[in-house]
Amino acid sequence: MDRAVFGVLAPLVQKDLALSSSQLGLAFSLFFIGYTASVMVGGWLVDRFSAHRVLLISMTCWSILCGLTAAVWGFASLLVVRSLFGIAESPWQPGASKILAKLFGRERFASAYGLQGAGNPIGAALSGPIAGLSAAAFGWRIGFVVVASFGILWVIAWLISGIGRDSKTQPEKTIESAMPVDGRGTGFSWRSLASPTVVASALCMMGTTYLLTFFLTWFPSYLSSQLGLSLKLMSVVVVLPWILGACGIAIGGLVSDWLGRKLGNVMRGRKTVLITCLSGAALGVVALPFVRSPVISMILMSLSLGLNYLAGGNIFALIVDSGESKHLGSVISTLVMIGNLCGIAAPYVTGLLIQYGGGYAVAFLVTAALVSGSALAIALLLREQARPSA
């Protein structure tokens, strides 16, 4: 909710602060710059201190900064708040993974992680009507304050629950131990990063992250400025894509596992799911510039986002199933970094395309090209010599 609210209220923020499209795009990107710059520090804090405590402090700062967005007075102050916002989020992924691995172990970690991941699109779905309707009634600044209050409520519940509070002193399972790891080495290896499977996974990460970030940041503004949707209606209709996204990430691993058993090869099952879903997502996006109906636009984007999430949930599984898992930590860290860099680039590049490069139509086509390129990379580079399914 905290991350998605800025995309919902961006048209009002842009108008009130007199921001150009490129300035708004930079404001979107600053979140990912702050996140990327501090993600390694966030992971170190989780290892050094209690994951429960780090998440508590992270979410407190995150929610306060969401509320402080209501106090910005211009472009410079908005950039500062957005940068700090990204820094505050950086511990959440390693912290949540550490607690889940400890509580559920290797047998149930993947299922727990998938359900946890579904919280992202569900939160984004809730932020639309909550922030949009609040802003429509009381102004965009109140919309940020309302969403921030939900974060503070989470902090209180987390403090009372004590989940993961002893995660520093209890024996902990890391992500690596929660997944099957082949080989004896666990250090960094340039050779592992240069393997076709990792390169294909990295390109896939670029496409899926670019599409997700584009939708998160610019699509609400497109509905408002180009298709004439009111803030009230726009804040409600954007719920549908996030619901499909939540379903996609929750069932993506289950679908590819089932297909791998049917085909007799786990990697072939994941490859089939990735190519099919990414191609479908790209087709949905490429059709958007030719549609003037808000309803059809929402249906197309909903299907694209759902397919994108269904595909994206299988990327890390590719590394484990390919035999690259002996360097799991370095490889996955690299993929996460690549995704964050695309998160930095996507909103700013989109803003430049809208302002100088031909408008939203070109931005849609560029997004579709990157997603279809990801499908092509999977088709051409991904090896199927993974272990057969049991």
Considering Cα of 10, then 245, then 203, then 113, what sign does the dihedral take? positive
DSSP letter at 73 equals: -
- Model confidence at 177, in pLDDT bands (50, 70, 90)? very low
Q: What is the CATH number of domain 5-162+175-381?
A: 1.20.1250.20
- Average pLDDT for 209-224: 84
Tell me, what's the pLDDT at 320? 62
Tell me, what's the pLDDT at 384? 66
DSSP letter at 388 equals: P
Burial of 85 (0-12, 13-18, 19+ CB in 10 A): buried
Asked if pLDDT for residue 364 goes beyond 80, the answer is yes
H or E element in which residue 267 lies: helix 266-287
Write out pLDDT tens, residues 253-286. 777 777 877 888 777 888 888 999 999 999 999 9
- Average pLDDT for 191-212: 81
CA nearest neighbour of 304 among 259, 354, 360, 244: 244
**What is d(CA 159, CA 56) in angstroms, rounded to the nearest whole number?**
7
Question: Are 75 and 88 contacting, i.e. CB atoms less than 8 angstroms apart?
Answer: no
- What CA–CA distances, in Å, run from 257 to 75, 250, 304, 306, 376? 47, 13, 22, 18, 22
∠ CA 55-60-64 to the nearest 5 degrees? 150
**What is d(CA 89, CA 97) in angstroms, rounded to the nearest whole number?**
14
Question: Are 236 and 244 contacting, i.e. CB atoms less than 8 angstroms apart?
Answer: no
Tell me, what's the pLDDT at 70? 93
- Average pLDDT for 65-92: 91
pTM over cut 0.75: no
Query: Which tokens is 154 given?
Result: 């989470």
Question: Are 201 and 278 contacting, i.e. CB atoms less than 8 angstroms apart?
Answer: no
**What is d(CA 246, CA 250) in angstroms, rounded to the nearest whole number?**
6
CA nearest neighbour of 34 among 94, 78, 100: 78
CA nearest neighbour of 312 among 274, 349, 346: 274
Asked if pLDDT for residue 163 goes beyond 80, the answer is no
Q: Would you give the end-to-end CA distance of the chain in angstroms?
A: 39
Cα 262 from chain centre: 30
**What is d(CA 204, CA 202) in angstroms, rounded to the nearest whole number?**
5
Query: Which tokens is 45 given?
Result: 């804090």
Residue spans per domain, the chain: 5-162+175-381
Backbone angles phi, psi at 138, to 5 degrees: -130, 0
DSSP letter at 389 equals: P
Tell me, what's the pLDDT at 171? 38
Write out pLDDT tens, residues 295-342. 888 889 889 988 998 887 677 777 666 654 444 445 666 677 777 788
- Average pLDDT for 231-242: 75
- Average pLDDT for 92-118: 71
